[in-house]
Amino acid sequence: MERYSRITDKNQREIVLLKAKPCAWGKCRFCDYIDDNSDNIPEMVKLNREVLANVTGKFGVLEVIDSASCFELPKETLEDIREVIEEKKIKKLFFESHWMYRKRLDEMRAFFKIPIVYKIGIETFDEDFRENYLNKHADFKEPEEVAAYFDSPCLMVGIKGQTKEMITRDIDILKKYFKLGTINVYTDNTTDVKKDPELIRWFAENYQWLKNDPSVEVLFENTDFGVGD
Q: Is the pLDDT of residue 35 over 80?
A: no
Q: Is the pLDDT of residue 174 over 90?
A: yes
* Phi and psi angles of residue 26, each rounded to the nearest 5 degrees, phi first: 65, 25
Q: Which pLDDT value is given to residue 221? A: 86
Q: Which pLDDT value is given to residue 219? A: 95
Query: Cα separation of 136 and 109, whole Å?
Result: 25
Q: Which pLDDT value is given to residue 222? A: 79
Domain chopping of the chain, boundaries? 4-219
> What topology does CATH give the domain 4-219?
TIM Barrel (3.20.20)
Q: What is the mean pLDDT of the chain?
A: 96
Q: Which pLDDT value is given to residue 33? A: 75
Helix axes 197-206, 164-177, angle to 10 degrees: 40
| pLDDT tens readout for residues 201-224 | 999 999 999 999 999 999 998 788
The pTM assigned to this predicted structure is 0.95
Q: Which pLDDT value is given to residue 163? A: 98
More confident residue, 70 or 226: 70
How many residues does this entry show for the chain? 229
Q: Which residues of 130-157 are buried (b: 16+ CB within 10 A; e: fewer)?
A: beebbebebebeebeebbebbbbbbbbb
| pLDDT tens readout for residues 46-102 | 999 999 999 999 999 999 999 899 999 999 999 999 999 999 999 999 999 999 999
| pLDDT tens readout for residues 131-153 | 999 999 999 999 999 999 999 99
Mean local confidence (pLDDT), 188-199: 96
Q: Which pLDDT value is given to residue 13? A: 98
More confident residue, 168 or 32: 168
Q: Is the pLDDT of residue 164 over 80?
A: yes
